[in-house]
Structure 1
């Protein structure tokens, strides 16, 4: 194993907060982000998953005879929890081989008159194929919800992701570009649907001072510790403790509670996000430029596939997502890098059917391509503190493992 890096790199790139961001101000975050992205009005919720839950609840009320939500079989476990909490049924769709998009044939087989919504996912900031999901949805009368939780700022044809489908949502969680520690933004093109989403939130989302105070304290901790010197305490030490216990799910934060909390976001956290927002375009440009510098080196590694965007799309770059030739070599790389402070990690530990705590929520299903991505993938954080020297260390380990095979 490599000697541990002196300062810890994060596994994903969040916009660092400044002291001036913490001052009071107007709660204009949702409107300010909409102006920045060029979208219709956005609806602020307490998390990206809460935004999804509001969307699903609204669509269920609009189409009560439909119950199924089709999602990629390799995605965040919170998606499955949101579907279950909305009183709906999860329908998995396998991926294209070696890709993040849903397989077209599997998608068509998964959808029928019972389908309420299809969820293409802009995984790892990459831009998904929403057009195919839309084509299938229109055939069966379903809605399309774009999961852009990891893709704030990503565009296709110059237009923000989240606008091609009926509904889209972004996450403002820790490390997700712009962050208020936990938050979500909900988007709909149709004014009547936006009104229904707002009406659902007004009925379902309570004011909860306890949750909001907790998030305020967590945001203060994030502002203080989301730095290479602070991430050892906030991220690196808990990661290594979980791995020593053999708990990989906890190591990547895939261990979620069975219920998604709902509460309203307070004025102060909105102001913090609004103060930081003007720096977001420059930050995303910096990450994209840094990614373009590192991509040729990573693509040159024999047998390594770096997941990228389709033509005409410009994804965000919170991290690189790589597929190695097989699980054995992926695990050999992680044995050296996962605990060494270089921001190398895994996105999700399993395909959705393989999380033990989701039994009863996720149907048992054969999803070989999703399981293959789970078995061969690793991520490299593309934070502003990642240096060319760090990339060389990571690539050196990858080259050594690939040669030894």
Structure 2
């Protein structure tokens, strides 16, 4: 079997890259170790930067997003009961769109299936070969038989625990990591959201987030220790804790209900450098992770895809390798700025076990500065809607 690009991973980044390539007539095959149902069952973020929305439209999958997505002109930060709205539209002229990652994945899966483009779900024992040379190959087991695909390039879109980054020789890659001493306990419920925009709240009891997936489905989070167990949290306990962490007017609007899903996600910042190894390119979570505080995970994956797609299009259409050679540097420059923003938001809004009274005063001063400085609010807004590609 032969193709031009093998994409490892059928999450949003792999599917989006595949869709963009296919629309340019660039052959590609996607390999995914999990089932399609499993991929769709993963509950993830839902705040899309305008750049991500534009890229989905370019991929031809923006119709349902336009119909069902929720445009947001701002969001609110709360600190010890005080609310500060960040007017995204007023400060930057842009808005974000709330549309669940599951919906993005479904739209991309449907488009790929309609086009009849090759995808192998439940592909086992994927192995990468000769990607440092001119003739890379990928082998895998599917339905009990071993297969091999020769290709021009390999796109590693297979996440933090995937095989692509793990296949890179140890001396060729450098990693940078910060593991945070807490996680987010998230709950999904079929009830109207507590506010029409997201509310990120810091309190003496820890962080909380009031979010949504639609006008009738809410997503809530509370900060918990890393060793916390989901089983220890009844729905009643969760909603009681959420309400005491958000401002009174928000708490009064929280409508409880039976949880549809409940899970704990650890928080980390992680970057691998470089993102290119010969003819292997890492994109999305395979190359970097950010805490969800800044709503950057899916959006960073989309910007990687933008850079990689443009580089591959240029290679095939213009016979130029300039974009491929620049890919890692261009992507990482944007990645590190998003890592900085996510880190700063995480520091501002969360309680750290080792934090001193001095640290708490610094956090309070930072929030005070945000409430008093148009320049500071503009900086937060500019980063939240996404820096230009």
User: TM-score, normalized by length of structure 1?
Assistant: 0.25
User: TM-score, normalized by length of structure 2?
Assistant: 0.26
Indicate the structure with greater helix content.
1
Which is greater in Rg? 2
